Structure 1
Amino acid sequence: MDSTKVKPYGTVLIKQKEILDFLLSYEGAPTLADISKGLGRPKPTLLKILNTMELIGFVRKNGDTKQYSLGISLIPYAQKAISSFDIVEAASPYLRKLRDLTQETVNLGVIRDNKIVLIQKLESPQSIKMQSQIGGTMRLYSSAMGKASLATYSQSKLIHYFNNESFDAITTQTITNPQILTDELRIVQRDGYAVDDEENERDVFCIGAALYKNGHLYGAFSISTPKYRLSDERKREFIDLLKKTQLSILETI
Protein backbone atom coordinates (compact mmCIF):
# COMPACT_ATOMS: atom_id res chain seq x y z
CA MET A 1 0.00 0.00 0.00
CA ASP A 2 1.29 3.46 -0.93
CA SER A 3 1.04 5.40 2.34
CA THR A 4 1.37 8.71 0.49
CA LYS A 5 -2.04 8.15 -1.17
CA VAL A 6 -3.95 6.99 1.91
CA LYS A 7 -5.98 9.59 3.77
CA PRO A 8 -6.29 9.12 7.54
CA TYR A 9 -9.66 8.20 9.02
CA GLY A 10 -9.79 10.77 11.77
CA THR A 11 -6.78 12.16 13.60
CA VAL A 12 -6.86 10.57 17.05
CA LEU A 13 -4.59 7.69 16.05
CA ILE A 14 -2.14 10.13 14.49
CA LYS A 15 -2.06 12.15 17.71
CA GLN A 16 -1.65 8.93 19.68
CA LYS A 17 1.37 8.00 17.56
CA GLU A 18 2.83 11.47 18.13
CA ILE A 19 2.56 10.87 21.87
CA LEU A 20 4.17 7.43 21.61
CA ASP A 21 7.01 8.83 19.49
CA PHE A 22 7.52 11.63 22.01
CA LEU A 23 7.64 9.21 24.95
CA LEU A 24 10.07 6.98 23.05
CA SER A 25 12.51 9.81 22.36
CA TYR A 26 12.10 11.75 25.61
CA GLU A 27 14.93 11.39 28.12
CA GLY A 28 13.15 10.47 31.33
CA ALA A 29 9.41 10.56 31.99
CA PRO A 30 7.55 13.70 30.87
CA THR A 31 4.57 15.36 32.50
CA LEU A 32 1.46 16.44 30.62
CA ALA A 33 2.94 19.94 30.41
CA ASP A 34 6.14 18.54 28.88
CA ILE A 35 4.20 16.58 26.27
CA SER A 36 2.03 19.59 25.45
CA LYS A 37 5.06 21.81 25.01
CA GLY A 38 6.96 19.22 22.99
CA LEU A 39 4.11 18.46 20.59
CA GLY A 40 2.61 21.93 20.48
CA ARG A 41 -0.85 20.60 21.31
CA PRO A 42 -3.30 21.75 24.03
CA LYS A 43 -3.23 19.91 27.33
CA PRO A 44 -7.00 19.16 27.46
CA THR A 45 -6.86 17.32 24.13
CA LEU A 46 -3.74 15.39 25.08
CA LEU A 47 -5.16 14.48 28.49
CA LYS A 48 -8.21 12.81 26.91
CA ILE A 49 -6.00 10.77 24.61
CA LEU A 50 -3.55 9.89 27.39
CA ASN A 51 -6.38 8.73 29.64
CA THR A 52 -7.55 6.33 26.94
CA MET A 53 -4.00 5.16 26.27
CA GLU A 54 -3.55 4.54 29.98
CA LEU A 55 -6.80 2.57 30.09
CA ILE A 56 -5.57 0.15 27.39
CA GLY A 57 -2.05 -0.05 28.79
CA PHE A 58 -0.21 1.89 26.08
CA VAL A 59 1.08 4.40 28.63
CA ARG A 60 1.64 4.38 32.38
CA LYS A 61 1.09 7.36 34.65
CA ASN A 62 2.88 7.76 37.95
CA GLY A 63 0.18 8.76 40.41
CA ASP A 64 2.58 10.74 42.58
CA THR A 65 4.69 12.60 40.01
CA LYS A 66 2.07 12.71 37.21
CA GLN A 67 4.77 11.61 34.77
CA TYR A 68 4.08 9.37 31.80
CA SER A 69 6.01 6.46 30.33
CA LEU A 70 5.38 3.77 27.73
CA GLY A 71 3.10 0.97 28.92
CA ILE A 72 4.03 -2.69 29.08
CA SER A 73 1.04 -3.61 26.89
CA LEU A 74 3.15 -2.43 23.95
CA ILE A 75 5.79 -5.11 24.50
CA PRO A 76 3.92 -8.01 22.81
CA TYR A 77 3.21 -5.81 19.78
CA ALA A 78 6.87 -4.87 19.52
CA GLN A 79 7.97 -8.48 19.89
CA LYS A 80 5.50 -9.63 17.24
CA ALA A 81 6.53 -6.88 14.83
CA ILE A 82 10.21 -7.67 15.22
CA SER A 83 9.68 -11.41 14.85
CA SER A 84 7.67 -10.87 11.66
CA PHE A 85 10.70 -9.45 9.85
CA ASP A 86 12.02 -12.26 7.68
CA ILE A 87 15.44 -10.62 7.69
CA VAL A 88 15.69 -11.05 11.47
CA GLU A 89 15.06 -14.77 11.25
CA ALA A 90 17.45 -15.17 8.33
CA ALA A 91 20.24 -13.06 9.78
CA SER A 92 20.16 -13.91 13.49
CA PRO A 93 22.33 -17.07 13.50
CA TYR A 94 25.05 -15.37 11.48
CA LEU A 95 24.93 -12.15 13.47
CA ARG A 96 25.26 -14.07 16.73
CA LYS A 97 28.29 -15.86 15.32
CA LEU A 98 29.73 -12.51 14.23
CA ARG A 99 29.19 -11.08 17.72
CA ASP A 100 30.86 -14.11 19.29
CA LEU A 101 33.85 -13.94 16.94
CA THR A 102 34.42 -10.20 17.32
CA GLN A 103 33.29 -9.90 20.95
CA GLU A 104 31.76 -6.58 19.89
CA THR A 105 28.18 -5.31 19.51
CA VAL A 106 26.43 -6.33 16.30
CA ASN A 107 23.40 -4.44 14.97
CA LEU A 108 20.71 -5.11 12.38
CA GLY A 109 18.58 -2.35 10.90
CA VAL A 110 16.03 -1.59 8.22
CA ILE A 111 15.19 1.67 6.47
CA ARG A 112 12.04 3.52 7.39
CA ASP A 113 11.27 7.16 6.59
CA ASN A 114 14.85 7.82 5.45
CA LYS A 115 16.33 6.53 8.71
CA ILE A 116 17.82 3.28 9.93
CA VAL A 117 15.55 1.62 12.48
CA LEU A 118 17.43 -0.76 14.77
CA ILE A 119 15.52 -4.06 14.91
CA GLN A 120 18.16 -6.27 16.51
CA LYS A 121 21.11 -5.54 18.77
CA LEU A 122 23.45 -8.24 20.04
CA GLU A 123 25.45 -6.71 22.86
CA SER A 124 29.16 -7.16 23.30
CA PRO A 125 30.04 -9.31 26.33
CA GLN A 126 32.56 -6.62 27.21
CA SER A 127 31.61 -3.94 29.70
CA ILE A 128 31.03 -0.83 27.58
CA LYS A 129 27.52 -0.47 26.12
CA MET A 130 26.47 1.63 23.13
CA GLN A 131 23.70 4.23 23.33
CA SER A 132 21.61 2.70 20.55
CA GLN A 133 18.50 0.70 21.42
CA ILE A 134 16.05 -1.52 19.56
CA GLY A 135 13.42 0.64 17.92
CA GLY A 136 15.74 3.64 17.89
CA THR A 137 16.72 5.40 14.69
CA MET A 138 19.90 6.66 13.08
CA ARG A 139 20.42 9.00 10.15
CA LEU A 140 21.51 7.33 6.94
CA TYR A 141 24.34 9.79 6.29
CA SER A 142 25.90 9.45 9.75
CA SER A 143 25.81 5.68 10.32
CA ALA A 144 27.67 2.75 8.80
CA MET A 145 24.44 0.85 8.13
CA GLY A 146 22.93 3.97 6.59
CA LYS A 147 25.85 4.69 4.29
CA ALA A 148 26.05 1.04 3.23
CA SER A 149 22.36 1.28 2.33
CA LEU A 150 22.74 4.59 0.48
CA ALA A 151 25.48 3.01 -1.63
CA THR A 152 22.84 0.68 -3.13
CA TYR A 153 20.58 3.58 -4.23
CA SER A 154 20.10 4.55 -7.85
CA GLN A 155 21.29 8.01 -8.85
CA SER A 156 17.76 9.40 -8.96
CA LYS A 157 16.85 7.91 -5.58
CA LEU A 158 20.04 9.28 -4.05
CA ILE A 159 19.37 12.77 -5.41
CA HIS A 160 15.85 12.63 -3.98
CA TYR A 161 17.28 11.64 -0.60
CA PHE A 162 19.83 14.47 -0.69
CA ASN A 163 17.12 17.00 -1.56
CA ASN A 164 15.03 15.96 1.44
CA GLU A 165 17.73 15.54 4.09
CA SER A 166 18.83 18.36 6.39
CA PHE A 167 22.32 16.92 7.05
CA ASP A 168 22.50 18.09 10.64
CA ALA A 169 25.72 17.40 12.53
CA ILE A 170 25.24 14.58 15.04
CA THR A 171 28.85 14.88 16.25
CA THR A 172 31.80 17.01 15.20
CA GLN A 173 32.81 14.17 12.85
CA THR A 174 29.50 13.90 10.99
CA ILE A 175 29.68 14.36 7.23
CA THR A 176 27.22 17.15 6.42
CA ASN A 177 28.40 17.97 2.89
CA PRO A 178 26.48 15.97 0.23
CA GLN A 179 29.41 16.06 -2.20
CA ILE A 180 31.81 14.62 0.38
CA LEU A 181 29.23 11.97 1.22
CA THR A 182 28.81 11.15 -2.48
CA ASP A 183 32.56 10.62 -2.78
CA GLU A 184 32.51 8.34 0.25
CA LEU A 185 29.60 6.32 -1.15
CA ARG A 186 31.68 5.58 -4.24
CA ILE A 187 34.33 4.13 -1.94
CA VAL A 188 31.64 2.09 -0.17
CA GLN A 189 30.49 0.71 -3.52
CA ARG A 190 34.07 -0.17 -4.42
CA ASP A 191 35.03 -1.75 -1.10
CA GLY A 192 31.71 -3.38 -0.19
CA TYR A 193 31.44 -1.90 3.31
CA ALA A 194 30.91 1.45 5.03
CA VAL A 195 32.40 2.98 8.16
CA ASP A 196 31.17 5.42 10.76
CA ASP A 197 34.17 6.99 12.49
CA GLU A 198 32.59 8.75 15.51
CA GLU A 199 30.04 10.29 13.12
CA ASN A 200 26.97 9.06 14.97
CA GLU A 201 28.31 8.62 18.51
CA ARG A 202 31.51 9.91 20.06
CA ASP A 203 34.31 7.39 20.62
CA VAL A 204 32.45 4.69 18.66
CA PHE A 205 33.61 3.16 15.37
CA CYS A 206 31.22 1.11 13.23
CA ILE A 207 31.70 -1.02 10.12
CA GLY A 208 28.56 -1.85 8.17
CA ALA A 209 27.31 -3.72 5.11
CA ALA A 210 24.03 -3.72 3.22
CA LEU A 211 21.85 -6.78 2.71
CA TYR A 212 20.99 -6.13 -0.92
CA LYS A 213 19.97 -8.85 -3.36
CA ASN A 214 18.15 -8.96 -6.69
CA GLY A 215 17.39 -5.26 -6.57
CA HIS A 216 15.89 -5.36 -3.06
CA LEU A 217 17.41 -3.80 0.06
CA TYR A 218 16.47 -6.05 2.98
CA GLY A 219 18.40 -4.05 5.56
CA ALA A 220 21.93 -3.59 6.82
CA PHE A 221 24.09 -4.72 9.71
CA SER A 222 27.15 -3.42 11.50
CA ILE A 223 29.84 -4.09 14.06
CA SER A 224 30.16 -1.35 16.70
CA THR A 225 33.19 -0.97 18.95
CA PRO A 226 34.74 1.65 21.20
CA LYS A 227 37.41 3.27 19.07
CA TYR A 228 40.18 2.64 21.58
CA ARG A 229 39.72 -1.13 21.11
CA LEU A 230 40.13 -0.99 17.32
CA SER A 231 43.65 -1.55 16.01
CA ASP A 232 44.40 -1.67 12.29
CA GLU A 233 44.74 -5.44 12.54
CA ARG A 234 41.36 -5.84 14.26
CA LYS A 235 39.75 -3.53 11.72
CA ARG A 236 40.98 -5.73 8.85
CA GLU A 237 39.75 -8.81 10.70
CA PHE A 238 36.33 -7.25 11.30
CA ILE A 239 35.97 -6.27 7.64
CA ASP A 240 36.76 -9.82 6.57
CA LEU A 241 34.25 -11.28 9.04
CA LEU A 242 31.65 -8.69 8.02
CA LYS A 243 31.90 -9.66 4.35
CA LYS A 244 31.71 -13.37 5.13
CA THR A 245 28.64 -12.77 7.28
CA GLN A 246 27.04 -10.69 4.55
CA LEU A 247 27.56 -13.48 2.02
CA SER A 248 26.14 -16.11 4.38
CA ILE A 249 23.00 -14.08 5.08
CA LEU A 250 22.39 -13.28 1.42
CA GLU A 251 22.69 -16.96 0.53
CA THR A 252 19.76 -17.71 2.85
CA ILE A 253 17.47 -15.02 1.43
Structure 2
Amino acid sequence: MSELRLYGSSLIKAKHILDFLLTAKEAPELKEISAGTKIGKSTALKILNTMDVLGLVRKVGEEKKYYLGIDFIAYADKAASDFDLLQYARPVLTHLRDITDETINLGVVSGNSVVLLDKIESQHRSISLKSKIGGRMNLYSSSMGKAILAAWPVEKLGKYIQETELLKIAPNTITSSDALFTEVQKVKEMGYSTDNEENEADVYCLGFSLTKNHQLLGAFSITAPKYRMTKNNQEKYLKLAKQAQHEIEEAF
Protein backbone atom coordinates (compact mmCIF):
# COMPACT_ATOMS: atom_id res chain seq x y z
CA MET A 1 0.00 0.00 0.00
CA SER A 2 1.41 3.41 -0.97
CA GLU A 3 2.16 5.91 1.78
CA LEU A 4 -0.50 8.58 2.31
CA ARG A 5 0.54 11.91 0.82
CA LEU A 6 -0.63 14.93 2.78
CA TYR A 7 -2.35 17.70 0.84
CA GLY A 8 -1.78 21.40 1.34
CA SER A 9 1.68 22.55 2.42
CA SER A 10 0.30 25.78 3.94
CA LEU A 11 -2.14 23.78 6.05
CA ILE A 12 0.67 21.54 7.28
CA LYS A 13 2.79 24.56 8.18
CA ALA A 14 -0.16 26.13 9.99
CA LYS A 15 -0.49 22.93 12.04
CA HIS A 16 3.22 23.11 12.95
CA ILE A 17 2.73 26.70 14.13
CA LEU A 18 -0.34 25.80 16.20
CA ASP A 19 1.56 22.89 17.78
CA PHE A 20 4.39 25.28 18.65
CA LEU A 21 1.97 27.72 20.30
CA LEU A 22 0.36 24.86 22.21
CA THR A 23 3.64 23.72 23.77
CA ALA A 24 5.30 27.12 24.25
CA LYS A 25 5.79 28.04 27.92
CA GLU A 26 5.34 31.74 27.12
CA ALA A 27 3.64 33.49 24.22
CA PRO A 28 6.25 33.66 21.43
CA GLU A 29 7.04 36.39 18.94
CA LEU A 30 7.32 35.85 15.19
CA LYS A 31 11.08 35.24 15.24
CA GLU A 32 10.69 32.56 17.92
CA ILE A 33 7.89 30.86 15.99
CA SER A 34 9.97 30.92 12.82
CA ALA A 35 13.00 29.45 14.58
CA GLY A 36 10.99 26.84 16.47
CA THR A 37 9.07 25.59 13.43
CA LYS A 38 11.84 26.13 10.85
CA ILE A 39 9.36 28.08 8.73
CA GLY A 40 10.65 31.28 7.13
CA LYS A 41 9.58 34.51 8.83
CA SER A 42 7.77 35.82 5.75
CA THR A 43 5.78 32.61 5.29
CA ALA A 44 5.09 32.26 9.02
CA LEU A 45 3.81 35.85 9.17
CA LYS A 46 1.40 35.30 6.27
CA ILE A 47 0.03 32.14 7.91
CA LEU A 48 -0.25 33.85 11.32
CA ASN A 49 -2.08 36.84 9.83
CA THR A 50 -4.54 34.50 8.11
CA MET A 51 -5.14 32.51 11.29
CA ASP A 52 -5.54 35.77 13.24
CA VAL A 53 -8.38 36.83 10.92
CA LEU A 54 -9.95 33.36 11.27
CA GLY A 55 -9.78 33.47 15.07
CA LEU A 56 -7.28 30.63 15.34
CA VAL A 57 -4.54 32.78 16.87
CA ARG A 58 -4.41 36.10 18.74
CA LYS A 59 -1.71 38.74 18.30
CA VAL A 60 -1.32 40.79 21.49
CA GLY A 61 0.68 43.85 22.53
CA GLU A 62 3.34 46.02 20.97
CA GLU A 63 5.76 43.09 20.97
CA LYS A 64 3.22 41.15 18.88
CA LYS A 65 3.19 37.98 20.91
CA TYR A 66 1.00 35.17 19.63
CA TYR A 67 -1.53 33.05 21.52
CA LEU A 68 -3.95 30.34 20.45
CA GLY A 69 -7.32 31.85 19.48
CA ILE A 70 -10.39 31.61 21.67
CA ASP A 71 -12.21 29.64 18.95
CA PHE A 72 -10.23 26.62 20.13
CA ILE A 73 -12.20 26.65 23.39
CA ALA A 74 -15.34 25.71 21.48
CA TYR A 75 -13.45 23.19 19.34
CA ALA A 76 -11.95 21.55 22.42
CA ASP A 77 -15.32 21.37 24.16
CA LYS A 78 -16.92 19.76 21.11
CA ALA A 79 -14.04 17.31 20.63
CA ALA A 80 -14.22 16.24 24.28
CA SER A 81 -17.99 15.82 24.20
CA ASP A 82 -17.71 13.57 21.15
CA PHE A 83 -15.61 11.05 23.09
CA ASP A 84 -17.89 8.28 24.32
CA LEU A 85 -15.17 7.29 26.79
CA LEU A 86 -15.43 10.64 28.56
CA GLN A 87 -19.19 10.32 28.94
CA TYR A 88 -18.92 6.87 30.50
CA ALA A 89 -15.82 7.50 32.56
CA ARG A 90 -16.37 10.92 34.08
CA PRO A 91 -19.09 10.02 36.64
CA VAL A 92 -17.08 7.02 37.81
CA LEU A 93 -13.81 8.93 37.99
CA THR A 94 -15.46 11.87 39.74
CA HIS A 95 -16.62 9.44 42.42
CA LEU A 96 -13.09 8.03 42.59
CA ARG A 97 -11.77 11.56 43.13
CA ASP A 98 -14.33 12.16 45.87
CA ILE A 99 -13.43 9.05 47.87
CA THR A 100 -9.65 9.36 47.43
CA ASP A 101 -9.48 13.16 47.44
CA GLU A 102 -6.69 12.89 44.88
CA THR A 103 -6.48 14.20 41.32
CA ILE A 104 -7.76 11.80 38.65
CA ASN A 105 -6.61 11.98 35.02
CA LEU A 106 -8.16 10.38 31.93
CA GLY A 107 -6.14 9.99 28.75
CA VAL A 108 -6.26 8.55 25.25
CA VAL A 109 -3.52 7.55 22.83
CA SER A 110 -2.55 9.89 20.01
CA GLY A 111 0.47 8.73 18.06
CA ASN A 112 3.23 8.05 20.56
CA SER A 113 1.73 10.23 23.29
CA VAL A 114 -1.07 10.28 25.83
CA VAL A 115 -3.47 13.19 25.36
CA LEU A 116 -5.14 14.32 28.57
CA LEU A 117 -8.87 14.09 27.93
CA ASP A 118 -10.06 14.98 31.43
CA LYS A 119 -8.56 16.11 34.73
CA ILE A 120 -10.67 15.93 37.88
CA GLU A 121 -8.70 17.74 40.53
CA SER A 122 -8.60 17.11 44.25
CA GLN A 123 -11.08 19.44 45.94
CA HIS A 124 -9.28 20.00 49.21
CA ARG A 125 -5.64 19.04 48.73
CA SER A 126 -4.97 20.05 45.16
CA ILE A 127 -1.39 20.01 43.94
CA SER A 128 0.05 22.07 41.13
CA LEU A 129 0.66 19.81 38.14
CA LYS A 130 2.07 20.61 34.72
CA SER A 131 -0.61 18.58 32.95
CA LYS A 132 -3.49 20.37 31.23
CA ILE A 133 -6.51 19.05 29.37
CA GLY A 134 -5.47 18.63 25.75
CA GLY A 135 -1.81 18.41 26.72
CA ARG A 136 0.45 15.49 25.86
CA MET A 137 2.56 13.17 27.98
CA ASN A 138 5.14 10.59 27.01
CA LEU A 139 4.04 6.98 26.99
CA TYR A 140 7.32 5.88 28.59
CA SER A 141 7.35 8.32 31.51
CA SER A 142 3.71 8.56 32.61
CA SER A 143 1.64 6.00 34.51
CA MET A 144 -1.18 6.19 31.95
CA GLY A 145 1.36 5.77 29.17
CA LYS A 146 2.95 2.69 30.70
CA ALA A 147 -0.49 1.17 31.32
CA ILE A 148 -1.21 1.71 27.63
CA LEU A 149 2.12 0.21 26.55
CA ALA A 150 1.33 -2.88 28.61
CA ALA A 151 -1.90 -3.30 26.62
CA TRP A 152 -0.12 -3.17 23.26
CA PRO A 153 0.88 -6.29 21.29
CA VAL A 154 4.53 -7.18 21.84
CA GLU A 155 5.43 -6.31 18.23
CA LYS A 156 3.98 -2.81 18.54
CA LEU A 157 5.65 -2.33 21.92
CA GLY A 158 9.02 -3.43 20.52
CA LYS A 159 8.73 -1.03 17.59
CA TYR A 160 7.87 1.84 19.93
CA ILE A 161 10.81 1.15 22.24
CA GLN A 162 13.20 0.79 19.30
CA GLU A 163 12.13 4.06 17.66
CA THR A 164 11.61 6.27 20.73
CA GLU A 165 14.32 8.42 22.29
CA LEU A 166 13.89 8.05 26.05
CA LEU A 167 14.72 11.49 27.37
CA LYS A 168 15.16 12.15 31.08
CA ILE A 169 12.51 14.69 32.12
CA ALA A 170 12.25 13.98 35.86
CA PRO A 171 14.42 12.45 38.62
CA ASN A 172 13.44 8.83 37.92
CA THR A 173 12.58 8.79 34.21
CA ILE A 174 13.39 5.47 32.56
CA THR A 175 15.99 6.12 29.86
CA SER A 176 17.05 2.56 29.02
CA SER A 177 15.20 0.53 26.39
CA ASP A 178 15.82 -2.72 28.29
CA ALA A 179 14.62 -1.17 31.54
CA LEU A 180 11.45 0.11 29.87
CA PHE A 181 10.67 -3.30 28.38
CA THR A 182 11.17 -4.91 31.81
CA GLU A 183 8.97 -2.27 33.42
CA VAL A 184 6.15 -2.85 30.93
CA GLN A 185 6.28 -6.61 31.58
CA LYS A 186 5.99 -5.84 35.29
CA VAL A 187 2.94 -3.68 34.60
CA LYS A 188 1.33 -6.55 32.70
CA GLU A 189 1.85 -8.86 35.67
CA MET A 190 0.61 -6.37 38.28
CA GLY A 191 -2.36 -5.07 36.29
CA TYR A 192 -1.46 -1.44 36.95
CA SER A 193 1.46 0.94 36.46
CA THR A 194 3.33 3.40 38.64
CA ASP A 195 5.02 6.71 37.99
CA ASN A 196 7.44 7.42 40.82
CA GLU A 197 8.78 10.87 39.91
CA GLU A 198 9.29 9.69 36.33
CA ASN A 199 7.22 12.38 34.64
CA GLU A 200 7.32 15.14 37.25
CA ALA A 201 9.33 15.67 40.43
CA ASP A 202 7.61 14.99 43.78
CA VAL A 203 4.60 13.38 42.07
CA TYR A 204 3.52 9.73 42.29
CA CYS A 205 0.82 8.19 40.07
CA LEU A 206 -0.99 4.88 39.71
CA GLY A 207 -2.13 4.09 36.16
CA PHE A 208 -4.81 1.76 34.77
CA SER A 209 -5.67 0.87 31.19
CA LEU A 210 -9.25 0.77 29.92
CA THR A 211 -10.10 -1.96 27.42
CA LYS A 212 -13.24 -3.52 25.98
CA ASN A 213 -13.35 -6.68 23.87
CA HIS A 214 -9.55 -6.54 23.52
CA GLN A 215 -9.78 -2.95 22.22
CA LEU A 216 -7.76 -0.28 24.02
CA LEU A 217 -9.99 2.66 24.98
CA GLY A 218 -7.56 4.75 27.02
CA ALA A 219 -6.25 4.94 30.56
CA PHE A 220 -6.72 6.79 33.84
CA SER A 221 -4.50 7.59 36.78
CA ILE A 222 -4.60 8.60 40.42
CA THR A 223 -2.10 11.39 41.01
CA ALA A 224 -0.79 12.57 44.37
CA PRO A 225 2.23 14.20 45.97
CA LYS A 226 4.80 11.49 46.61
CA TYR A 227 4.69 11.98 50.38
CA ARG A 228 0.97 11.19 50.41
CA MET A 229 1.27 7.99 48.37
CA THR A 230 2.04 5.83 51.40
CA LYS A 231 1.85 2.04 51.31
CA ASN A 232 -1.53 2.10 53.05
CA ASN A 233 -2.89 4.71 50.66
CA GLN A 234 -1.58 2.80 47.65
CA GLU A 235 -3.34 -0.37 48.78
CA LYS A 236 -6.58 1.54 49.33
CA TYR A 237 -6.34 3.42 46.03
CA LEU A 238 -5.56 0.26 44.06
CA LYS A 239 -8.69 -1.44 45.32
CA LEU A 240 -10.86 1.58 44.55
CA ALA A 241 -9.27 2.12 41.12
CA LYS A 242 -9.74 -1.52 40.13
CA GLN A 243 -13.42 -1.17 40.95
CA ALA A 244 -13.64 2.03 38.88
CA GLN A 245 -11.81 0.33 36.01
CA HIS A 246 -14.34 -2.52 36.04
CA GLU A 247 -17.32 -0.14 36.16
CA ILE A 248 -16.12 1.92 33.19
CA GLU A 249 -15.30 -1.11 31.06
CA GLU A 250 -18.65 -2.73 31.85
CA ALA A 251 -20.58 0.46 31.08
CA PHE A 252 -18.84 1.18 27.77
TM-score (norm 2): 0.96
Query: Which residue is 1:241 aligned to?
Result: 240
Write out per-residue CA displacement over residues 166-208 of structure 1, whole angstroms, 9 at most, x where no aligned residue: 1111113011112222222222112111000000000000001
Q: Secondary structure at the match of 1:151?
A: helix
Query: Which residue is 2:175 aligned to?
Result: 176
Which residue identity does 1:61 align to in structure 2? K
Q: Is the 8 A contact 1:123 1:129 kept in 2?
A: no
Which stretches of structure 1, 4 residues or longer, exceed 6 Å deviation after superposition?
A: none
Which residue identity does 1:64 align to in structure 2? E
Distance 1:11 1:199 in 2: 37
TM-score (norm 1): 0.96
Which residue identity does 1:131 align to in structure 2? K
Q: Is the 8 A contact 1:119 1:135 kept in 2?
A: yes
Could you list the runs of 5+ residues in structure 1 that have no partner in the other structure?
A: none
Query: Which residue is 1:190 aligned to?
Result: 189
Q: How does 1:90-169 map to 2 (within 5 A)?
A: 90-125=88-123, 126-169=125-168
Query: Which residue is 1:228 aligned to?
Result: 227
Query: Which residue is 1:86 aligned to?
Result: 84
Q: Please report how far the alpha carbon of residue 77 of structure 1 lies from its aligned counterpart in structure 2 after TM superposition.
A: 0.9
Could you list the runs of 5+ residues in structure 2 that have no partner in the other structure?
A: none
Which residue identity does 2:195 align to in structure 1? D
Which residue identity does 1:182 align to in structure 2? F
State the superposition RMSD in angstroms: 1.3
Q: Secondary structure at the match of 1:46?
A: helix
Query: Which residue is 2:57 aligned to?
Result: 59
Q: Secondary structure at the match of 2:248?
A: helix
Query: Which residue is 2:204 aligned to?
Result: 205
Distance 2:127 2:199 in 1: 17
Q: Please report how far the alpha carbon of residue 128 of structure 1 lies from its aligned counterpart in structure 2 after TM superposition.
A: 2.0
Q: Secondary structure at the match of 1:148?
A: helix
Q: Please report how far the alpha carbon of residue 59 of structure 1 lies from its aligned counterpart in structure 2 after TM superposition.
A: 0.4
Q: Which moved more, 1:166-175 or 1:47-56?
A: 166-175
Q: How many residues were matched structurally?
A: 251
Find 2:5's aligned residue among 3, 7, 31.
Answer: 7
Query: Which residue is 1:77 aligned to?
Result: 75
Q: Is the 8 A contact 2:115 2:137 kept in 1?
A: yes
Q: How does 1:33-48 map to 2 (within 5 A)?
A: 33-48=31-46
Distance 1:49 1:105 in 2: 38
Q: Percent identity?
A: 48
Q: Secondary structure at the match of 2:130?
A: coil
